[in-house]
């Protein structure tokens, strides 16, 4: 992410804009506005932090917001599956599984990119049981179902995957 990116000035937990954010001392990627926000995200960030801290700093530029979103999604799915973090009707790994990927309609070049991105996610997470094909399919689901997040002045902040809203959008 470029140094002047808006995301560098947003708390990863509450999305509050601030010029005085603290970078996670371990992974050097995630920013928080307070100890309370850092603690509220720790169960999820712990897995992400462990993986990102192993990536040499000179390669952090390859962890694009889209790759990071997929890493966070994989961490969330794993933690929910293991019952480490709670699931709810609005936040449930089964909702992501139910999203349509449209893989059969995607050209070979785009599928190749999803496969390469899935390999990068796999290399960052280093989980022996990660299913790269499932990660590639999730990239397609993200492409068709992600929503852009804007601030109050309509500046692009990032993207998020909200399966319940995706389902409502298609009804």
97-152 pLDDT tens trace: 888 888 899 999 999 999 999 999 999 999 999 999 999 999 999 888 888 888 78
Question: Per residue in 20-59, pLDDT tens?
Answer: 899 999 998 899 999 999 999 999 899 999 999 999 888 8
| Average pLDDT estimate for 85-102 | 83
Structure tokens at 30: 């995630």
Please check whether residue 17 lies inside any domain of the structure: no
Please check whether residue 136 lies inside any domain of the structure: yes
CB crowding 95-126: b at 16 or more within 10 Å, else e: bbeebebeeeebeeeebeebeebbebbbebbe
pLDDT at 169: 61
pLDDT at 86: 86
Please check whether residue 7 lies inside any domain of the structure: no
Please check whether residue 6 lies inside any domain of the structure: no
Longest dimension (CA), the chain: 46
pLDDT at 91: 80
Structural domain of 69: 42-169
Domains in the chain, number: 1
pLDDT at 42: 92
Please check whether residue 121 lies inside any domain of the structure: yes
Please check whether residue 116 lies inside any domain of the structure: yes
Please check whether residue 10 lies inside any domain of the structure: no
pLDDT at 144: 86
Please check whether residue 36 lies inside any domain of the structure: no
- pTM for the whole structure: 0.84
């Amino acid at each position: 992410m470029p140094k002047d990116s808006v995301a560098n000035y947003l708390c990863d937990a509450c999305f509050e804009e601030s010029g005085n954010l603290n970078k996670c001392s371990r992974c050097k990627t995630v920013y928080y506005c307070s100890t309370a926000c850092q603690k509220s995200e720790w169960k999820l960030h712990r897995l992400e932090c462990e993986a990102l801290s192993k990536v040499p700093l000179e390669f952090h530029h390859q962890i694009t917001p889209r790759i990071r979103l997929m890493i966070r999604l994989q961490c969330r799915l794993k933690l929910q599956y293991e019952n480490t973090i709670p699931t709810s009707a609005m936040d449930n790994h089964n909702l992501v599984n139910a999203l349509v990927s449209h893989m059969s309609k995607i050209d070979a070049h785009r599928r190749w990119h999803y496969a390469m991105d899935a390999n990068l996610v796999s290399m960052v997470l280093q989980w022996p049981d990660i299913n790269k094909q499932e990660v590639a399919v999730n990239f397609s689901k993200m492409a068709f179902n992600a929503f852009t997040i804007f601030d109050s002045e309509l500046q692009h902040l990032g993207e998020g995957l909200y399966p319940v809203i995706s389902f409502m959008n298609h009804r």
